[in-house]
Amino acid sequence: MLEVNAAAFTTCVKLLSDLAGVAPGDEATGSAVEATLDLLSTHCRILGLTISPIEIMGVRSALEGSLTEEQARSEFRHLFFTFLRELLACQFIYIETPKRKEMYAKSPVEFWSRHVWDRFPDCRYDMSEAMKCIALERYTACVYHLFQVVEASLREFGRVMDVSQTKRRTNSGLKIHDHDWGSMAAAIDTKLKNTSPRTVRAKRLIAERKLALGRFENVRDARNQVSHPDEREFTESEAWDFMTQIPPFMRQLVRAIPTTRKLV
């Protein structure tokens, strides 16, 4: 899908319209035409167009010769129709509200923060897709991606706390089980309560981890209130609620587990 900047599109149309009314003759007019073609080429590339910039090069070459006024206008008309034909082969999207438009255009690194982006590389796809989905009104898909972010980050939290798995003795031997959201949070909480930090740094990390766990509990409570994601579709307001709650949890989690090492 071509990501289109509406300002670039309207600028191209205006520049092409301006050229239609120009008849290159004197040096000043010729310089103005060159400047217009330069700007037009730049905005065509912003739109992702590839044929129109090549056509602009052809117009430049033709203008270097001795063209009559009618021949020059013919070159400009041909360029205009080339631009239109190329647009017909493109697909456009229109995002109506500024809030959703911002989510589509904003860098995920900026929205989630550079620290979160760097600390959780495995979450980058879901973080980015959650923003695109909410912008395009795909609210259930947005929430799905957000839950993937929470689940992956919670697993990392458990790994750093050394509670990512449990071992259970059965008749067939020792079996290892991954925690679900609830049991993982409970295991982390127990580990935090049983940890006795000895340094100032360790005490600070324990405090940050308790705050992160508290934010996770808020997210989990909100998730439980709207039932399991496999059972229903999510509304716009629910998607925005999760989009508001989960990034702060992730930023708090980065402060709680700033590196992959098990510091406490």
Is a pLDDT exceeding 90 seen at residue 232?
A: no
Q: Are 15 and 8 spatial neighbours (Cβ–Cβ below 8 Å)? A: no
State the average pLDDT over residues 242-255. 90
CA quadruple 255, 260, 261, 264: dihedral positive or negative?
A: positive
Residue 178, beta-bridge partner list = 165
Q: Which run of H or of E encompasses 202?
A: helix 200-225
pLDDT for position 239: 93
Q: Are 234 and 143 spatial neighbours (Cβ–Cβ below 8 Å)? A: yes
Burial class (CB within 10 angstroms; exposed 0-12, middle 13-18, buried 19+) of 206: middle
Q: Higher-confidence residue: 232 or 117?
A: 117
Q: Phi first, then psi: what are they for 165, rounded to 5°?
A: -140, 160
Q: Higher-confidence residue: 132 or 32?
A: 132
Nearest alpha carbon to residue 42 among 15, 60, 75, 62: 15
pLDDT in tens, 130-150: 999 999 999 999 999 998 999
Which span out of 15-24, 145-154, 217-226 was modeled with the highest average pLDDT?
145-154
Is a pLDDT exceeding 90 seen at residue 113?
A: yes
The DSSP result for 116-154, as a single string, is HHHH-GGGHHHHHHHHHHHHTT-HHHHHHHHHHHHHHHH
Q: Are 104 and 131 spatial neighbours (Cβ–Cβ below 8 Å)? A: yes
Cβ atoms < 10 Å from Cβ of 251: 17
Q: Are 250 and 219 spatial neighbours (Cβ–Cβ below 8 Å)? A: no
Q: Higher-confidence residue: 186 or 177?
A: 186
pLDDT for position 5: 64
110 band by pLDDT with thresholds 50, 70 and 90: very high
